[in-house]
Structure 1
Amino acid sequence: MTKQEKQERRLQKKEERQLQKQHKKEVERRNAERELALQNNPDVICLLKKKKKGLLRIVFSRFGLSAILLLLQAGLIFVMFGTDFENPDIITVLLAFFSLFMFIHLFRSEMSSSAKLTWLFMMGLFPIPMSIMLWYTERDAGHITVRDRMRGLIRQTHHKLPQDEEVLKAPEIVKSNTDSLCRYLNQSGCFPLYHNTQVTYFPLGEDKFAAM
């Protein structure tokens, strides 16, 4: 390969890299415009909010919480043994009672035996941070947030699926005494009842194809 061919090849690769960068920037720009349009559209409801990025995502994650709690435990140990603390025995006794209380709470919980042993080992090493982490996981704050979010979305979109009252007045619904149940489900959630939804069940797939 001659020197000129090598130079042309380098220029070609450089142009390809530039085109790839331009394409990537164009895709990111389109995605940003699409997200902005969806956020500004009142008819669009996002199930999940955009996640935090960078340092905030680490701070508010379980890893960040664990790191903060471990630093708290290390600071407490330093105060007890690394400084001229007058009564370190008091903190030791309080930690012992606190650990005993958390162990009793752990054994009374409904989690599996393997999970209890894991928590027992971690709480034996780091009583305070692991106890707070146990409380955090038992509260299940993430699930509660998602549950409240879903309930709010159901309330916001309840009017988009109205219940046809004529359907509830159908003879087969009235005779079966399920009209009140249908009204309850539609009021508590968003589950309207429809008509013309007959379904035929076949014992075998061959029977279905024969009927088709």
Structure 2
Amino acid sequence: MSLPMKHEEKHLINKGHYGFKRAIFSRFGLIFVLLIIQFVILFGLFAYFINLLPHFLGATFILDAIMVIYLFNNRMDPTAKITWLLIILSLPIFGSLLLLYVENDFGHRKIKQQVDKLINLSKNDLKQNPQTYQALAADNLAEANLATYLERVGNYPVYRNSEVTYFPLGEDKFQAMMEELEKAEKFIFLEYFIIKEGYMWGNILDVLIKKAQQGVTVRVMYDGMNELSALPHDYPEKLAAVGIECKIFSPLVPFISTHYNYRDHRKILVIDGQVGFTGGVNLADEYINKEHRFGHWKDTAVRVKGPAVKNFTLMFLRMWNIIHEHDQDFAQYLAIEPKRYPEAAGYVLPYADEPLDENKVGEMVYLDILNRAKHYVHIMTPYLILDEELITALKFAAQRGVEVKIILPGIPDKKVAYSLAKSHYAELLDAGVQIYQYTPGFVHAKVFVSDDVRAVVGTINLDYRSLYHHFECATYMYKTANISQIAADFNDTMAKCERVTYQTIKDEKLSLKISGKLAKLIAPLL
């Protein structure tokens, strides 16, 4: 149990102003300089070999031919193959060597081994209740088939007797989080892509410090990209000083590595094994509209209570133990039996997606919803960077009479991603897909809702980063009471949107159209 914290210690943790000068002379500044030096050296080596190209035309042709043959026999997404083919043809030798480097994935072999090990060690920790599965199969065999898939690839069972609450804004989730954190008695697990000092995190941190002093186990984990601007590199030590365990996933190090490609994009809060949160909301002020960077920030989240929370507990523990293998204390936390909610309708299945295997779980769930929809599929997503499978599924659903509507941001956070999304508009409109832009600001929600019976709320965007490269999570719901609220929120949000038409596409700036078409060439790399 931690001693009461001194005023200056609390001030040190909450201090959040890191100016340009501090950044330049900080650990990040040093890492950045070392990375630039490595890039220059590598580029120089490649340039040297390219200058010798006339002497090695035969070797160049052979190397590029081998890599092209490799590409056509690789299991990667077809769109990514086209991008790599373009790189190889445009940059002989350099393109082939770059592909060879990326495909060898020197940076993530160790982490992949650790992920595989942890999944194997914990694959029997959660067992599918046969009565639950049989009841689901009797209700809808296709839903049971999806549950089978998620249980096989990630060991995440489907549950009944679990209550799910939907939050249509980050502010709503924040209020509920604060209320649940105050009730914590045993442990608090937080895993977030972004934690940034300010009003939201400051209030949460105050509760975490208080709970740690009361003897509650508090663990915090965040992605290493926070070191770029949000948090200092020694933040785990500062939290440890007040009794909070903290780990950074993939911290910045001064070495070029493909490991940087894999980020922890999850947003998970688990309290006492009884309550779990997920959704798009990170722990920073823009997510609750205390700070306005891109107009009004529209986000969503869910709170799960009951047996289904165990899946979130398992997700967190796996990620926690990836970073510096710990004592693998799965049993003591997973043995906790959450309160059951027999009055709660429907089925709940929290699941995760790991980028280091060949299972594109996030995309498979979205495709399953699109392919089984009978009446409608309504989608909210901040990005629309699609592979051919998703484009085909969206178009096919609309062409067979399903109402497919997509809400996207009206004010972008990333100009290139915004222009790339627009490059898909005409093709989707041709198939009957309806597209809307949220004029008040930025949509960060990741929501699928279909036919008033199924929905997904989580962290998974419709882009290559989420679908191929990030650690992600979401909650799948079938016939739960809150699905009507999710559907209603979509309609309420759509009422604040501008519908995309052929005329609005025609009226777009020429620079936006050109940048979108150019970005499409390298979409899998964005």
Q: Same fold (TM over 0.5)?
A: no
TM-score by structure 1 length?
A: 0.40
Q: State TM-score, norm by structure 2.
A: 0.20
Bigger Rg over Cα: 1
Q: Which has the higher helix share?
A: 1
Q: Which has the higher contact order (CA 8 A, sep 6+)?
A: 2
